[in-house]
Each structure stands twice: as structure tokens, then as C-alpha cells.
């Protein structure tokens, strides 16, 4: 059995016929062909699949595609055109907030929502806000600096 | 301007694709007609397979093929072990890619389904009927080595895969004469590497050409090609291994795994591309783990705390089978480092590599050196406590004095250069050690449990001289090669055989080129990870990429510079010895206006209209660099903790690191490596550990149960450095990838024990979870 869905991803309508059990992250990667969103675990711990679902950050491995039908999703590819970078992307680059890069899309998307809720977070608040995203390379310190830096350039203090 | 690019913390050239989601990791790649594989795995840790009926799976929706060990038997060769330690009575029992008769750990491959979608492949696994006859299980590597333990392999008595000894001086005499001896039994638990990217393999078979292409999450694609050849029988020149973007490895992506072989087998049988990607739960079961040591260790010292001897007996778990490099980890990379940064004249160690019913164990960040540093640093603290001296001072009096060009230690190796006392001084100074001790005394007076931990370390990196590799049984070389190619417009490609996956060499190697010949770093692209497009190399691990591959790049670009000088002399009608170089310009001495830029030279060399007699056209050079010795980075770290005695909860309050990896090409990248390394070592001290129950079931089977460090659990790391160049390296660099992990585990452990010592607690097995710490405190209070 398949169910028709239509999800707006990065401003573009993506329609498909999917199994009810399909995870949103697989729709994004397989159906929409947007592989910036990663799969790092199967227990909703790692946060590499974090996207924005109707403006709220969500782990796309814990959402069924059919649940997201009619919704609007922003992935890392939708944050900028890839050339004129989003301030968070620029800040991750400037602060060496990534090494292997696998956690980075999810980390940036989680940080984006964090800054939308709290435009001027303290380092401690950033650490707390990113506890749902695991990075194994950076030890988090430069990620915290990147988010702090982005907050400044986005108008927070 | 350009000459100062070496040592500049410029932002990374690889980042734009990574921060925008435009990078391609193996699982991101889709090929036309591609099918998906899922692998059925043993639910038993040790069992005979009495029957397999795969017919039920074959008729499931979307299923194209189902294969078992009966299909791969005789087609795929056994999984090879590539580090055959001589003089160790090493046993290498058969390791089929798909188990046919017997399984030896939970996760051992039993069958594979290939289907149109991954969902279909995984669904169909449930329709394969396997009958198992469970056998006795043994998990502890020490228990596995005892008489009467369940035997994993028929031809391996007591499960002992190898016995390896290291000795220098006369340890028994040192202990017989010692005023002070201390001892401990240390369990260095199994660790799961957890690169954020799960492993993946995508195989494509071009039958008419007999060519196999394997996209693979590998730290060493050239080794993967070599071992693919060994296992599949496809000739080496017909195999192309591509490690595209690789999302971390930490050692776990060094080995050549059954999964790669199985995926290749499926693609070759079916003639269509087949992709397999592990789930995180599979990663926990099958991707090689680290450590698994039980160490019985003792140290001898004078009454004044001068170390006189070290003895160890180590049981190192190998898991169900030997992995690609596993025998070398607890031996060459561990036992040879038993002197650490100290003068220890008498050393004796025996290491048993033992099969046990768990995931195979292989290199994990630090690979043998964390285990050595951990036991040394714990023992040094015990010596300090026994003689009633400050642990930092006991270290100081035992450190090898500063040396610039070679120091022999009792294990028979020669460190390259070191200034261990300077590192210790820097760390103590940065931490404010004296103040910390004063604050600790006040805290104790107030009834609070504050602890300060110190460690000194030296590690063996830059692996390594190939002659040594051969002498210690490594089935390969350890040199690296590089090709530096200037195009007509002065832009540069650098092809390297090593395979960075987060360490930033696309940037640092461009910095090497830029600093040598004055091109802009943005004009240099570093190509790696594709065996068809890169020269031979042995891979990225052991903090060797900058130390060995970087040296090859430096040697190659210096050849470019020599040729450029000669061509400039010809074009400027001057003698080569009259040509000077500065900032990308070759000019006649005393006449800086008479010059050729490196871009001029690149164009003229490539068009070759006016070459000197006998000079070949083009501006390209290659270098094969075989290091004359290993490199030995070192440092000293300090941690401050407070323990809540009522809950056992540990608050890691400060962490200060001083590392000395020689000159730094890019200090920002070095600092990032140190940050990540420290956190990967704090993890096992406080939280991380793979736990198997008595039935060999992995209890910590997911990220829910295996406690990885998270952002909110860590203090701001205070990272500093000293600079002691390696005397034998073209750039003086040593390597920094593993330093943090090697130092931080004992630093944090020692800090916690320092906090607990007044309560009568002197040891707790890692990880130091609140429950274990609370129990230890309570036991001590109750007179235990």
C-alpha cells in the first residue's frame, strides 16, 4: 500500500507515493534527492538528520513521511544557495566548527532553530541547546564558538 | 606574504561543500539500476549453524537474490589478517566473509539479501530460517585464556591467538630490589569508535572489462584495493576503490570488512551495482571496537619515587576473529611504548591476544598507546601516593631530560626528540597548579571532593619506516607518495595516497605547497581517496598523514622548486646558482626586476618552447617518502574535577592541555584535533563502555545505551602547545590526531582518584559512572 504525499522542501513541492512506514529522512534523501541530510543512527540520538519542519527543528528519522505531508521542510540545502552562505554556515567555516562534516548539516539546522528561539545564547545555553546532536570530531568547542559567532552576525549580541 | 602561510590558521578549503550539504559520502551515491543489500546476522555469540533455509526470502517482494555461506564458500577467499607479528606463535584461523558452519559473535554475517529497495531487503531477512546450536560463550579476554573456557577456534588452544613479549633491562631484579612497589589490575573496557557516518560499500562490476569499482567508507583505499584483490580474486589493476567523503573513522574504517567483500560478491554475481550501508545498531555489533584489555600491572620505585621497573601481563581481547591490523595494536603500538616519557630502565611485558565472543577489536584512536599511557599514568600516581610526594613532582624526576636527536628507551625504540619537562611545566603553569592544590586543600577542609589529575605522555606516530614495518610483520609498507602537478595557468593539483576524512589535509597540504613555491593556497587542490587517480599510499591513521604523506608533498614540491630555478636561470640567461627565490619569484641575484614568477615558469615548462638542453617539458614531480624513524609527539595534561560523594556524580571542571607536535602548519586545525581527541579520551574515563553480557549479547547496542560525550557535559578546553621539531622530518612535524585521546583518559581518571583518595578510594573500574563511584565511596566508608 502506498499513500500520496506532497511536501514542500526548500520551497519546492515534492510529491510522491510512499509506504506509510517510510521515514521522512528517506523521503528527503531518496525521493527528493537531497542527500545533505544524513542518517547517523537508528534510535533518534545523533541528530544528523535534523531539518526544520514547519519552522521547528525535527529529527527526520522520527517523522513519517505521511505525517509531514502538507508541511514545509527546510534542509541544509535550503539554508543558502551554497555560494552566498547563511551566517551559520559562514561561522562554522570561520571557527573550524567541523572536521568530517557528517554531523554538520544537522548541527547547523539545530543551531538555526536554537538561534531563532534565543538570538543571544550564552555558551552554556548553546551547549545545552545542541545536546541532541552528536559530533565525534570536534569535541564541540568550535561548534559552540561558531554558533556564538553566528548569533553575533545575525544581530544577537 | 606567501611564505608565512605555513603556520597560519586559515579556514579549511574542504569546508564549503560540507557546510552546504553538497558533499557526497558513500551512501549518498546512487547508480542507475542499483540494488540494495541487507545482511542477516547471528543473534548468538557462539553457535553452530545446523541449517539455513533462505527460500522464504527469495520470494519476498523486490528480492533479487539471496546468498549464504554456501554460495560464497570457495568463491570469496577468507578475510585476511594483515599484521602477522613474528615470534608470537600467531594463529590466523579461517574467517569466512559469510559464516557457513559456525558463528563467533553477535553480528557475524550469515546471509545476504539483495533487493530493489533497502526496506525490501531488510524485510526479507526475516524470512531466512537459520537453526543454531548454541555453544558456550566467553566474553572476558582473561577468562577466555583459561583452561576449560569455551573454544572459539578448533586449532587455537585456550583461545590464545598470540603471545608477545617485550623486555629491556632486568625487571625481576628491579622488583626484587625495590623499596616501593605498586600494582593494579586495570580493565580498559571495549570502546565503540562511533564515527558519525556509518560504514557503507557500493560495488559496481563491469563484466566485459572484468573491472570492479568499490565506493567504500575507507581510511585507506589502496589497502582496501589490495585486500579486495586478495578476497575476491579480481586482479589489482582491475579494481578501483574510491573513498569519497568519509565521515570520520577513528581507526574503525581501516579494516577491510566482510561486508565489503559480500557487497562486491553480490555485484559480481548480479552484474548490477549493489549498495550496503550499515545501520548504527549494526555498526555497534560489527564495526571493529577498541581496547578490551585486562592489564595486571606493577611498578617498582625507590623510596624517593624514582621509577626502576615495570611489569605487565595483558589479556587483549581480539573478538571472534582477527581483524586487518588487530595483532599489531596491543603489541607493537602498545608494548613498545612502555617507557612512556620516563626513564624506566627495566621493563617486562607479556601480551596475550585472546579470541573472545565479541565484535573483532582493532585500531581505535590512539590504538595501543592510550592503553600504554593509561597504565603508566595510573601507576605513576600510585607511586606518588606510596612515597607521599606530589604526582607532578614524581613525574618531573622521572621524565627523560630534553633531547633533540634521538633517545633510546628500554623497549628498544629510539624517540626522535622531546622536551617533556617543558611540556609538564607549561601545563602546570597554564593550569595554575600551585593554586589548584591550595584550592583543593581548602575544598577538602570544607568537606568537598576536589581532585587534580596530571599526565605526561609520548606517543609513537608517523608510521613509519617500511623496513621496520616488515620486521614487525605488517603486511605492507608504511611510506607515502605524492604527485605535484603544475598546470599551464599555474594552478596546482596534488595527488596523495593517504586518505584524509576530516583531518583537513586539503588545506594543510595546500599550505605546504604555497609556503614552498609561493602560489596562493586557493590555487592548489589536493586529490585523495581514489586509487585510479592517486599514487600508492598506505592510508590515514596513526597520526601519520601529515607526518608521512605531508613529507612526500614537501619533497615533491621541492623538486618542482629545483626545476623552476633551473628553468628560470635558462629563461633569464643567468647561472642557476645566481637565481634567488622569494615569495613565488625567481630572480637574478641583485636584480629583482629580472624575475620569473612560479606561474611564468609553469606556463613555460608546459608549453616547452624554450627548455634548457636535456630538461624534460612539464612541471610535475612525484616523491616516495619512507620515513627514517617514527615521530614521537608528546605533552602533559591537567584536569580538575569535583565529585559529589552523595551521588557519585563527577563534574569535570577544567581541562588544560599542552601538546607538542612540532611546527604546526595550521594551528586552528591542530587545536581542533586536540579538542576532539581530548573528548574521545574523556568519554571512556567517565561514560563510555561497550558491555557484553555473559551470553555475549551487546547490552550497549545503540546510542541510547552507549554514553557518548555531548556538548553540555564538557568544560571549555584550555589548549596550549610547545614546539619541538622532529629532527628527521623535512618539515619537522610530528602528528597530532591521537594526542588528546592518549592523554585525557588517565588525566581525568587520576583527577577523580585524587578527589576520592581522602575517602579511602584508590581505584574504580572505568567508566567512572556515578553508580560505580558512589558504590566505591560507600564500600570505603563501610570499611571495604
How far CA B239 is from CA of B25, B81, B198, B225, B372, in Å, comes to: 20, 20, 23, 6, 38
How far apart are the C-alpha atoms of B81 and B79, rounded to whole Å? Answer: 7
Superfamily (CATH H level) for B31-135+196-248+253-286: Aldehyde oxidase/xanthine dehydrogenase, a/b hammerhead (3.90.1170.50)
For residue B387, name the pLDDT band (cuts at 50, 70, 90).
Answer: very high
d(CA B92, CA B79): 10
- Domain range summary for chain B, segments of one domain joined by +: 2-20+479-625, 31-135+196-248+253-286, 289-463+629-781
Q: Which of B19, B501, B702 sits opposite A100 (nearest CB)?
A: B501
> Quick check: A136 and B11 CB within 8 A?
no
pLDDT above 70: percentage of residues in chain B: 99
pLDDT(B1) > 60: no
Domains B2-20+479-625 and B289-463+629-781 share a fold: yes
| A140 to B248: CB separation less than 8 angstroms, yes or no | no
CATH of B2-20+479-625, one of 3.40.50.2300, 2.40.30.10, 3.20.20.10, 3.30.365.10: 3.30.365.10
Residue B783 pLDDT level (bands cut at 50, 70, 90): confident
From A124, which residue of chain B is nearest by alpha-carbon distance?
B712
What CATH number has the domain spanning A87-153? 1.10.150.120
- Mapping DSSP onto H, E and C, the string for A42-83 reads CCCCCCCCEEEECCEEEECCCCEHHHHCCCEEECHHHHCCCC
Residues of B in contact with A92 (CB under 8 A): 15, 19
pLDDT of residue B2: 41
Q: How would residue B784 be classed by pLDDT, with cut points 50, 70 and 90?
A: low
In this predicted structure, the answer to whether residue B3 has a pLDDT above a threshold of 80 is no
SS3 B85: coil
Instruction: Provide, rounded to the nearest whole percent, the portion of chain B with pLDDT above 90.
Output: 99
Q: Under a CB-based contact definition with an 8 Å cutoff, are residues B121 and B37 in contact?
A: yes
Nearest-Cα distance to chain A for B245, in Å, is 8
Q: Which three cell numbers stand for residue B579?
A: 637565481
For residues B275 and B2, the model is more confident at B275
Q: Is there a contact between A46 and B702 if contact means CB atoms under 8 Å apart?
A: no
CATH for B289-463+629-781, options being 3.40.50.300, 1.10.10.10, 3.30.365.10, 3.90.1150.10: 3.30.365.10
Give contacts of A22 with chain B, Cβ < 8 Å: 119
Beta bridge partners of A56: A53
Residue B132 φ/ψ, nearest 5 degrees: -115, 145
Q: In 3D, which of B585, B551, B588 has the Cα closest to residue B734?
A: B551
Question: Does A141 contact B716 at a Cβ distance shorter than 8 Å?
Answer: yes
Could you read off the pLDDT of B470-495 as tens digits, one per residue? 999 999 999 999 999 999 999 999 99
Mean pLDDT of chain B: 97
Question: What is this structure's pTM?
Answer: 0.98
Nearest Cβ partner for A43 among B14, B246, B704 = B704
* Alpha carbon of A108: minimum distance to chain B alpha carbons (Å): 8
| Partner-chain contact B197 A100, CB within 8 Å | yes
Q: What is the pLDDT of residue B106?
A: 98
Minimum distance, in Å, between the CA of residue A28 and any CA atom of chain B: 12
Q: Which helix (H) or strand (E) holds B623?
A: strand B619-625
Shortest distance between the Cα of B704 and any Cα of chain A, in A, equals 7
List, run by run, the mean pLDDT of 10-residue segments along chain A (157 residues). Answer: 97 97 98 98 97 97 98 98 96 98 98 97 98 98 98 84
Q: What's the CATH architecture for A3-77?
A: Roll (3.10)
What is the distance between the alpha carbons of residues B357 and B500, in angstroms, rounded to a whole number? 32
Q: What's the pLDDT score for residue B4?
A: 79
> For B373-380, what is the mean pLDDT?
98
Domain assignments of chain A as residue spans, ordered by start: 3-77, 87-153
Amino acid at each position: 500500500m502506498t499513500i500520496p504525499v506532497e511536501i514542500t522542501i526548500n520551497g519546492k513541492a515534492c510529491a510522491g507515493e510512499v509506504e506509510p512506514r517510510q521515514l521522512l529522512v528517506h523521503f528527503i534523501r531518496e525521493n527528493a534527492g537531497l542527500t545533505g541530510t544524513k542518517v547517523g543512527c537508528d534510535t533518534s540520538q545523533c541528530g544528523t538528520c535534523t531539518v526544520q519542519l514547519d519552522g521547528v527543528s525535527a529529527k527526520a528519522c522520527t517523522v513519517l513521511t505521511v505525517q509531514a505531508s502538507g508541511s514545509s521542510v527546510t534542509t541544509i540545502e535550503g539554508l543558502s544557495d551554497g555560494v552566498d552562505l547563511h551566517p551559520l554556515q559562514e561561522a562554522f567555516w570561520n571557527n573550524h566548527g567541523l572536521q568530517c562534516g557528517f554531523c554538520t548539516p544537522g548541527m547547523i539546522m539545530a543551531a538555526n532553530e536554537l538561534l531563532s528561539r534565543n538570538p543571544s545564547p550564552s555558551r552554556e545555553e548553546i551547549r545545552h541547546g545542541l545536546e541532541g546532536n552528536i559530533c565525534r570530531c570536534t569535541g564541540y568547542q568550535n561548534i559552540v564558538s561558531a554558533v556564538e559567532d553566528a548569533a553575533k552576525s545575525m544581530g544577537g549580541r | 606574504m606567501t611564505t608565512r602561510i605555513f603556520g597560519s590558521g586559515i579556514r579549511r578549503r574542504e569546508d564549503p561543500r560540507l557546510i552546504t550539504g553538497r558533499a557526497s559520502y558513500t551512501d549518498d551515491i546512487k547508480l542507475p539500476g542499483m540494488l540494495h543489500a541487507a545482511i542477516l546476522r547471528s543473534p548468538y555469540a557462539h553457535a553452530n549453524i545446523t541449517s539455513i533455509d533462505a527460500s522464504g526470502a527469495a520470494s519476498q517482494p523486490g528480492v533479487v537474490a539471496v546468498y549464504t555461506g554456501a554460495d560464497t564458500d570457495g568463491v570469496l577467499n577468507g578475510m585476511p589478517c594483515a599484521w602477522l607479528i613474528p615470534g608470537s606463535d600467531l594463529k590466523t584461523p579461517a574467517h569466512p566473509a559469510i559464516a557457513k558452519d559456525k558463528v563467533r559473535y553477535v553480528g557475524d554475517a550469515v546471509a545476504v539479501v539483495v533487493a530493489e529497495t533497502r526496506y525490501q531487503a531488510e524485510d526479507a531477512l526475516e524470512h531466512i530460517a537459520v537453526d543454531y546450536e548454541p555453544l558456550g560463550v566467553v566474553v572476558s579476554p582473561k577468562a577466555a585464556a583459561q583452561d576449560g573456557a569455551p573454544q572459539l577456534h578448533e586449532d587455537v588452544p585456550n583461545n590464545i591467538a598470540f603471545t608477545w613479549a617485550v623486555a629491556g633491562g632486568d625487571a625481576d631484579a628491579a622488583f626484587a630490589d625495590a623499596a616501593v612497589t605498586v600494582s593494579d589490575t586495570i580493565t580498559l573496557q571495549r570502546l565503540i569508535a562511533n564515527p558519525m557516518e556509518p560504514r557503507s560499500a557500493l560495488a559496481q562490476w563491469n563484466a566485459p572489462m572484468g573491472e570492479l569499482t568499490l565506493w567504500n567508507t575507507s581510511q585507506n583505499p589502496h589497502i582496501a584495493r589490495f585486500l579486495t584483490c586478495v578476497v575476491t580474486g579480481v586482479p589489482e589493476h582491475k579494481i578501483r576503490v574510491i573513498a569519497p567523503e568519509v565521515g570520520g573513522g577513528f581507526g574503525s574504517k581501516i579494516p577491510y570488512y566482510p561486508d565489503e567483500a559480500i557487497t562486491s560478491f553480490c555485484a559480481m554475481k548480479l552484474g548490477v551495482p549493489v549498495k550496503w550501508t550499515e545501520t548504527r545498531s549494526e555498526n555497534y555489533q560489527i564495526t571493529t571496537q577498541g581496547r578490551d584489555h585486562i592489564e595486571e600491572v606493577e611498578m617498582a620505585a625507590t623510596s624517593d619515587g624514582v621509577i626502576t621497573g615495570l611489569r605487565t601481563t595483558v589479556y587483549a581481547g581480539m573478538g571472534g576473529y582477527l581483524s586487518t591490523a588487530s595483532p599489531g595494536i596491543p603489541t607493537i603500538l602498545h608494548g613498545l611504548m612502555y617507557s612512556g616519557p620516563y626513564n624506566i630502565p627495566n621493563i617486562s611485558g607479556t601480551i596475550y591476544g585472546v579470541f573472545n565472543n565479541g565484535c573483532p577489536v582493532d585500531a581505535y584512536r590512539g590504538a595501543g598507546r592510550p592503553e600504554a599511557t593509561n597504565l603508566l599514568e595510573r601507576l605513576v600516581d600510585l607511586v606518588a601516593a606510596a612515597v607521599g610526594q606530589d604526582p607532578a613532582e614524581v613525574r618531573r624526576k622521572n621524565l627523560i631530560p630534553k633531547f633533540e636527536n634521538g633517545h633510546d628507551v628500554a623497549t628498544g625504540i629510539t624517540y626522535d626528540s622531546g622536551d617533556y619537562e617543558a611540556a609538564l611545566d607549561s601545563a602546570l603553569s597554564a593550569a595554575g597548579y600551585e593554586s589548584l592544590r591550595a584550592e583543593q586543600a581548602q575544598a577538602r577542609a570544607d568537606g568537598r571532593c576536589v581532585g587534580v589529575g596530571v599526565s605526561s605522555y609520548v606517543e609513537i606516530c608517523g608510521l613509519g619506516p617500511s623496513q621496520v614495518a616488515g620486521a614487525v610483520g605488517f603486511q605492507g609498507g608504511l611510506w607515502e607518495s605524492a604527485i605535484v602537478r603544475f598546470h599551464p595557468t599555474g594552478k596546482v593539483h596534488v595527488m596523495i595516497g593517504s586518505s584524509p576524512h576530516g583531518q583537513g589535509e586539503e588545506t594543510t597540504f595546500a599550505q605546504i605547497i604555497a609556503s614552498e613555491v609561493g602560489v596562493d593556497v586557493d590555487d592548489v587542490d589536493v586529490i585523495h581517496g581514489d586509487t585510479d587517480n592517486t599514487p600508492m599510499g598506505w592510508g590515514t591513521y596513526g597520526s601519520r598523514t601529515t607526518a608521512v604523506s605531508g613529507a612526500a608533498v614537501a619533497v615533491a614540491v621541492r623538486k618542482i622548486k629545483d626545476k623552476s630555478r633551473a628553468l628560470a636561470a635558462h629563461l633569464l640567461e643567468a647561472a642557476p646558482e645566481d637565481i634567488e627565490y622569494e615569495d613565488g619569484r625567481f630572480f637574478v641575484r641583485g636584480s629583482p626586476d629580472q624575475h620569473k614568477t612560479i606561474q611564468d615558469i609553469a606556463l613555460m615548462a608546459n608549453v616547452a618552447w624554450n627548455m634548457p638542453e636535456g630538461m624534460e617539458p612539464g612541471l610535475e614531480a612525484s616523491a616516495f617518502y619512507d620515513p627514517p624513524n617514527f615521530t614521537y609527539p608528546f605533552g602533559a595534561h591537567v584536569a580538575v574535577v569535583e565529585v559529589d560523594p552523595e551521588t557519585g556524580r563527577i563534574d569535570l571542571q577544567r581541562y588544560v592541555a599542552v601538546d607538542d607536535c612540532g611546527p604546526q602548519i595550521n594551528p586552528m586545525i591542530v587545536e581542533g584535533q586536540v579538542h576532539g581527541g581530548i573528548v574521545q579520551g574523556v568519554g571512556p574515563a567517565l561514560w563510555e563502555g561497550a558491555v557484553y553480557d555473559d551470553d555475549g549479547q551487546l547490552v550497549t547496542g545503540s546510542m541510547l545505551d552507549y554514553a557518548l560525550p555531548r556538548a553540555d557535559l564538557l568544560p571549555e578546553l584550555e589548549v596550549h602547545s610547545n614546539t619541538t621539531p622532529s629532527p628527521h622530518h623535512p618539515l619537522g612535524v610530528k602528528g597530532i590526531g591521537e594526542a588528546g585521546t592518549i592523554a585525557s583518559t588517565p588525566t581525568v581518571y587520576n583527577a577523580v582518584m585524587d578527589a576520592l583518595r581522602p575517602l579511602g578510594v584508590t581505584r574504580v573500574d572505568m567508566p567512572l559512572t556515578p553508580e560505580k563511584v558512589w558504590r566505591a565511596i560507600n564500600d570505603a566508608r563501610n570499611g571495604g
